[in-house]
Structure 1
């Protein structure tokens, strides 16, 4: 979430604050100074189609699979038709992540009328579900709110719910940062690429976890008392249930802090 002067000089790639992805026509001066002469590729796509196409490639092939050329081929145009909207691959990745979080923003637009802790939980779970199955997204979610207006709005929405608890500005900042960091960090961790033996089909996910559990059970309990204490919980555990358990612990602590005044 750092300032980036590139945003100010690329009006054609903005995602506007009404929550919708749109592409305002640049002035002829801006177009000539940053793009050169217009070509027929300008009319081939919209910013929304560029970003949705990028997300499709990222979901299928991860960050290595997303190139300007690959996206242009998928959209049925030349690379110039993509460069009309983004300066390069890094900006495309930032905006693709923000496009996904725009869906979280839309899905949580009605929060704010109920209990603030319950509203925070709803936002956190919606955000987690959007990220966890996308291994590429964790590294780019809320990476640069100057380039990612949906991310900034989502961060604001979370912070506004925390403000309702009556905490100090510092407590509010720390609580909001902790919640965002927990959701993105856990989702990114749980959404990692499976081990090579699972990807190759040599072992199923269940077989891999069963093998790991057997190794844990074989450890010396005097050296690994914690592992033996929780191994039955680890065996066959559900990742989402594990996330929800940690989230509820964090929110319970936040409620206690708010109640303490």
Structure 2
């Protein structure tokens, strides 16, 4: 007797495989594209094989987010000087959320999940290594994590408004910079002066500059 395809597929189907397939769907079409119908089609399996590992879409989103953040934490430089390690972790999170915009949304939606705990634990531990006083650790870690995830999430949201074509980004920034430059310099002196920098700035470099500003402020707590 020939076993049904769904039965054969279930035998070798792991949660890791399911989560990886879900992440691919999320990357291609966002949260709206992730349905159990789409997932079973991609995996050539039945609903029962999926529900054996994940309870619902929320559980699947959380597991996919946990997997992305776990990779960032795993790939972070081990044994590096704490300040450089903080920059590496921060940039890793920025790049991960840029590549997977749904991760930033999920972290905001369910901040109690293991993924965010891992972020706080890694950043908090590195701040301890920087000799930040115990009474200032909670506030310092919270401020830095909120900056990193907030800017990364906003950058990812902005990127979704454009295509992946760099020329489109340059044209968009050029148009905004032109509007800034046309403003009355007496009424908007800073914005008028910043127009040139807006046109030419690099998102990752500006993000790291912000991390450095936070770290410089944190250094004064010692």
Normalized against structure 2, the TM-score is what? 0.86
Coordinate RMSD, CA, aligned: 2.3
User: Which of 168, 187, 204 is equivalent to 2:168?
Assistant: 204
1:225 aligned residue:
189
Q: What is the 5 A alignment of 1:22-61? A: 40=7, 42-61=10-29
Unaligned runs of 5+ in 2: 1-5
**What is the distance in 1 between the residues matched to 2:16 and 2:202?**
35
Q: Does 1:171 align with 2:129?
A: no
Q: CA deviation at 1:159?
A: 1.2
User: Which of 102, 105, 112 is equivalent to 1:136?
Assistant: 102
**What is the distance in 2 between the residues matched to 1:207 and 1:178?**
33
Q: CA deviation at 1:42?
A: 4.0
Q: CA deviation at 1:144?
A: 4.5
8 Å Cα contact 1:58/1:66 also seen in 2: yes
Q: Per the alignment, do residues 236 and 187 of structure 1 end up closer, same or farther by CA in structure 2, a change over 3 Å counting?
A: same
- Which piece of structure 1 moves more, 160-169 or 242-251? 160-169
1:63 aligned residue:
31
Q: CA deviation at 1:226?
A: 1.2
Higher helix share: 2
Q: Per the alignment, do residues 228 and 142 of structure 1 end up closer, same or farther by CA in structure 2, a change over 3 Å counting?
A: closer
8 Å Cα contact 1:44/1:81 also seen in 2: no
1:95 aligned residue:
63
2:120 aligned residue:
155
Could you list the structure 1 runs, at least 4 aligned residues long, displaced by more than 6 angstroms after superposition: none
8 Å Cα contact 1:55/1:96 also seen in 2: yes
